Structure formats: structure tokens, C-alpha cells
Chains A and B, each alone.
Chain A
Amino acid sequence: MKGMHNKKNLGEWLVTIPPLGWLFIFFMIPTIIAITIAFRPSSPYGDIEAGWTLENFIMLFSPTYITIIWRTIWISFISTIICLFFALPTGYYMARLSQKWRQIILLLIIVPFWTNFLIRIFAWKIILNPEGILQYILISLGIISKNTMMLYRTETVILVTVYTYLPFAILPIFAAAEKFNFKLLEAAQDLGASRWESFSRIFLPNISKGLKVATFMVMIPCLGSYIIPDLVGGTNSEMIGNLIATQAFIARNIPMAAAWATVLMAMILFPMGLVISTKLLSRKMAE
């Protein structure tokens, strides 16, 4: 019996060491290095000096930067809400389709998600061109005036973000909806529930896992995004990602960039950890 136990342990180590070791060396150690550097002072020439300081973090919470932190949060929040708004009906509709059509629509949704991320952004620069067709159509419909600039705005950043990450929201919702038993909805309605009631009280709770995954899948890259505001954003669309890039590449201040990155990571990991730990806790309670 004891021999069995040892053998099992050996097996566990054999399969655990390659992945755990890799992540430990190439993910955990570098991240810890970056976080410690955030507490180091820097010289004007980009050197990381000896000693420890909290100055980088104190700087972050000056009014100048609070604006940008706040902007990052609300841009990500709105983009996520819009993504969920479109992903929910789409996922729901796909789940109700026949196997064949489901495959086709799934394929159609995956393909844009497989093309190059930069090229997708580039496409929008063509569409939103003031001399482009879209501008022409919107002007003739009287929606915008001739002088409206559709590029280089915060709205453009949100639009392109939604375009880029919508597939990430649709797929998990669809995966959850696919497992949902739609007869439950009919049953609820037979018992007198309205359409909205049956949708919100039966369908939504049943796909909540998919919703959570979708939220994370959109929210995380949004919070860290820097290419989208850089390429289609205007003078007021800087996000935390841009500040990290500015500090690392322009201001030559690696500790400051690391401090920003640490804050960004905390902003993401804290809610994520909260969700996961409540889940683990409730599971333990159930046991």
C-alpha cells in the first residue's frame, strides 16, 4: 500500500514538474522581478538605482493619473457591457439553431477572430475615413454633419475594442447556452412566467458561468489595451497601457512603468481572485 502511494506521488511529480516549472521560471519569477522593480528609484538615464522607495506609487495617485485610471476603467466597463449586450442574444440564438447552422455561424464568428489583430484595427481606419462610404451614408441620412470626425475619438476606441473582443464574449456564452435545456423556458412559460421573467430568472442563472468567463475574457485585455488607443484614439483616449508604454519607452523610467503594471495587475487579479475564492469557499461549504 505504501509502495502504491509513493508511485502515485512520483507520477504526480513527473506530470507536474514540466508545466509548473515552466510557469514558475518564466512567469512567476519575471513577474516578481517586475513588481520589486516598481519599488526601486530610477535615474534620469533609465538606470534602476539601489534602495527602496514608495515614490512611484505615490506619484500614480496624483490627480493627473487618477483621470487616466478612471478613463481606463470606464472604457473597459462600457466595452464589456456592449460586448455582453450583443453576445447574449447571439449565443442564445446560436444555441437554438440546428447542428448544421450552429457550425456555420460558429465558423463565421471564429474567422475574424483568427485574422491578425493589427489588420482588424487597420480595417476600421479605412471605414471611418472622412471620405469613406460610411461617412457619406451617415451624412446623407442626416445622422452626422460633414465636419464630424469619426476617427481619433474615445468612441472609436470603444468601437474597435468591441469589434476585437466580441468573439471572446460570444464563444463562452454560446458554450454555456449549448448545454442549457431550453424546455425549461417553455415549462416556465406554461406555468405563467412572462418571457422576460423566464429569460432572466431561468436562462441567465443557468449560463452564469459562461457570462463570467465572457466578462473576464473581454475585461482583461481591455484594461491592458494600448495598441487600440494608440492607433485609433484621439488626444483624450490615453489608457494605462499607453502610460506603461510611455514610461518604458519614452520616459526611460522602468520602475515607474513597473509600478503602473503592478497597479494594472492588481486591478485585474483582485476581482478575479475574489470571484474564484468565493467559488472555492462555497464549494467547501457545500462539502
Chain B
Amino acid sequence: MSAVAADAKRSTSARRRRWWLEVGWKYPVAALIIFYAAFPLVFVFSASVNKGGNLRGTERLFSSFTLDNYAGLSDTLFWTWVGNTLVIGFSAAFGAVMMGAAAAYAFSRFRFKGRRASLTGLLILQMFPQTVAFVAVFLLLLSLGEVVPALGINSKLALICVYLGAALGSNTFLMYGFFNSIPMEMDEAAKIDGATHAQIFWKLIMPLVTPILAVVGLLAFISAFGDFILAKIVLVSSENWTLAVGMYQWVSDQLTARWGIFSAGTVVAAVPVLVLFLVLQRYIVGGLTSGSVKG
């Protein structure tokens, strides 16, 4: 009996050792990784509720609690910038989804002259990032503003148009693949029933491709949200700025940096994006691996 018990005991301890060697150590390592990943975020949250209104590391996390920084946001143009960012982001996302879906539908469903050439052209074009040509974008908008003032420098509409310029290149392929996965027979059945190409597009295809529309929309929104260089050169006056341009201005000068307000603004602006991203991460990862890169 005792020999069996000792044997069992030995095997449990051996099993436990094996578990530690193979699996167990992964938990402490995970804790380390989580610390690495999350501490700046916890820190910025702590700073946002700190009385001092700074990013000083000498203070303990959450050593004081105040909502002054959050209240202070309304004394700045923060909420205007949030509004601008949302307007620009949603418009760019909506436009990108619509134009990308329409183009993908055409490439996927119609056979026409120059189809292959256009697809190849798009493939080549999408390699060249629009941001590199920002000098030309700036000069173009300068002269365009003389003809159509609404599309000149310092116009939100102009910035949206610039973002839409990249829509076809970056999204068509992502959507094209997805559109191709919907069987052609469905269109043909609808066609026999007398549906026009527009009806097939709006009533048949669009509902079926909603997942990819969501992914493209989200990616376009995030890229407009995070864009700095184009927004910075297009939007001149502070009431037109997006969050990226405005919040940079808060902390760019070391002497006058307003870290307290910056932290509060970061928490307010980042939390919705964070939540959206984490909830939809499955879709986003699918979109990412099929070709577009956020960073």
C-alpha cells in the first residue's frame, strides 16, 4: 500500500514538475508581458485623475483622485476636435466603404475591356503611400482652393477628399476577394427574375458582404483617426484640427506641455477606439492578414 502511495505521490510531483516546465511558467511570463503592454495605459489613466496635472513618475499611481483634468477639457477646443475627428473619420470611412464596394462589385461581376489591366494598376498603385506625396497634396489644395474654396487648404472637406483618394487603392483588393466568394449563380438567378445590376448590388450583394464592409470602414476610420501628416498640412486653424493635430500641440513644447489635460483627453478619446478594436478584433485581424497594415 505505502509503496503504491509513494509511487502515486512521486508521479504527482513529477507531473507537477512537468506541468511547470511545459505550461506553468507561461503564466508568470504572461504577467510580465501584460505589465509591459499595459503599464503605460494604466499610468496615463492614473495621471489623468492626478491633482498635479503632470506625468511625474515620483508620485505613486492613483495617489490622488480628481476629475479636474476632465473638466478642464471643456476649457479647450478638445470637444471641437473630437467632433472634427468623428466627422472626418466617419465621412472617410463611409466614402471608402461605398467606393471600394462599388469598384469591387464591378471587378468581381462584370467582364470588361481593361479589367485585368485596371486590377494590376490598382495593385501597383496601392504600394505607393499617398502620404509621401504630401508636398504635392499641399500645392494641389493651394491652387484648388482658388477655384473651389471649399476644397482649399484649411477645409475639412478637402481632407476627406484626400483620404478618399487612397480608398480605392487600399480597399478594392480586400473587398474584391470577398465579393468573389459570393457565388455568381445568385446574381444570375436574380437577373432572370428581372433584377437590374443596381438592384443586385444594393439588395443582394451588399447585405451579404456586410462583414467586409465593417472591416474596411473600421480600418478607414482608424487610419483617418491616426493620420497626422496630412491633417497637419491641410487643417490650419485650430477650430478645424483633428485630435491628432490638436493633442500634439498640447504637449509638443516641453516647457508648456499640458500633460494633465493630455492624459484626460487621451483616456476620453482612446477608450472608445480601444473598446471598438478589442470587440471587433476578430474581423480586424482577418482584414489585416489579407493585406492592409495599420502599423
Partners in one complex: no
